Chain A
């Protein structure tokens, strides 16, 4: 049903098959994408699945929630398109999505 691309900080892309209903954090960790930890299992508690949504896609994914803002805004790598991957649900609408990973998770 499509793919999502995670781009590591050094530019290495990882294409992952999109599974409807999974979070982007689960997709990344289940496919061994380095740079996304998801230590808390998807409760928006740890802030270790910070991703930066590609400009072309931010209107489709939507911007971050207030909770996500509080978690990611202390990161020096936080930008306007920063999100927590555990709060992004995969759906057919996200086929072709690209997200970028920060150099460090907090």
Chain B
């Protein structure tokens, strides 16, 4: 008897979680994972850190080991999907094969936004997205002396921290007037600005890249203000573009990502989309959002597995993020968009540990926590409980956060 088949296109965090959640949800049909990278799904966050430093290998980073896929009867195909025939219910692969599906999940991810300036294709200029990017950067580290990072978002700043740790001179360029402008409060930007300078980074904000110069290899970066910085390694981290082409060409709705409902379903009931490529309706925020983070990919995958297995579990988890730089462990709970007030616990202008709480109409909606895991875990609970904590108590380092929760958790002895 023919078994039903789920095809998962792309092999990242969402894909691995789908395999787990589909089997846990009772899916006993086939699962075929089609990935255009040779590897099974691997952890991406460590790429810019331990993998760049060479202290982990790709097999260390696998989200689940090969034995998991074998045990759970998941077939991995190393191929690229070139088209979807919705009428026939098939996907075409670049090796000439076509595979039929009963359910299709698009986990196509996102690709680095290219810099459209002269010289951007010179050797020595790298993006930072997948293992192959890092392997290429690693190959240049023995001779690289001076790196220029374009973009002071999380990816750029993590790359800067990693390269500084290897003793390489690093300059960071940011076109906005402060680092992390898109995602954090000015207090948090100022903190990261200070730390990167303390760590020896030549940080320049409010300046763009006019072009790259070199002869067969990048040698310098030309800035919009006319200055020129020597460079033998350039890492570009100026955001990503969702990979929506397969969906769009198949006639599915696309608008800043593949449009899906709170179950991850597209306007074709047999097709779903998860992770960076998907723009979902979020009941908590009352709007559509597209996020680029691991937690979001995992939550999408769980919701989709629920829908496929007939156990509806809409996308509902609080988004959260993390970023490790130097000795800083940043954990972020919630989305700060729409905040009208910021409350600090600890002092970001001094030292390396504080929390920045974001409030809207008095309600806690997000928190950036630097070396403050307790504040992070508190925030996850408090935001989910929709609490409006007393601002003075929130800021007071002597007030135990646990006492501000609705149902105070039992504290350990």
Q: Which residues of A contact B (CB under 8 A)?
A: 29-32, 34, 37, 39-41, 43-47, 67, 69-76, 78-80, 82, 106
How many residues does chain B have at the interface if contact means C-beta atoms less than 8 Å apart? 38
A70 touching B373 by the CB < 8 A rule? yes
**With A32-B24, A39-B294, A43-B322 known to touch, is A76 a contact of B409 (CB < 8 Å)?**
yes
In the complex, 28 of the A-B residue pairs with CB atoms within 8 angstroms, ordered by the A residue number, are A30-B65, A30-B67, A32-B20, A32-B71, A32-B72, A39-B294, A39-B295, A40-B45, A40-B294, A41-B43, A41-B45, A44-B373, A45-B322, A45-B329, A46-B295, A47-B377, A69-B412, A71-B373, A71-B377, A72-B412, A73-B402, A74-B401, A74-B405, A75-B377, A75-B409, A76-B409, A78-B411, A106-B377
A78 touching B64 by the CB < 8 A rule? no
Taking each of B320, B374, B405, which has the highest tally of chain A beta carbons within 10 Å of its own beta carbon?
B374
Taking each of B329, B377, B410, B413, which has the highest tally of chain A beta carbons within 10 Å of its own beta carbon?
B377
Is there a chain A Cβ closer than 8 Å to B178's Cβ? no
A82 touching B412 by the CB < 8 A rule? yes
Interface residues of B in 22-50 (CB under 8 A from A): 23-24, 43, 45-46
| Chain A residues positioned under 8 Å from B410 (CB to CB) | 76, 78
Q: Which residues of B contact A (CB under 8 A)?
A: 20, 23-24, 43, 45-46, 61, 63-65, 67-68, 71-72, 294-295, 298, 320, 322, 324, 329, 331, 372-374, 377-378, 380-381, 401-402, 405, 407, 409-413
CA distance A31 to B378 in the complex (A): 30
CA distance A80 to B322 in the complex (A): 27
CA distance A40 to B373 in the complex (A): 14
| Chain A residues positioned under 8 Å from B407 (CB to CB) | 76
B64 — nearest CB in chain A belongs to which residue?
Answer: A30
| Chain B residues positioned under 8 Å from A78 (CB to CB) | 409-412
| Chain A residues positioned under 8 Å from B373 (CB to CB) | 44, 47, 67, 70-71
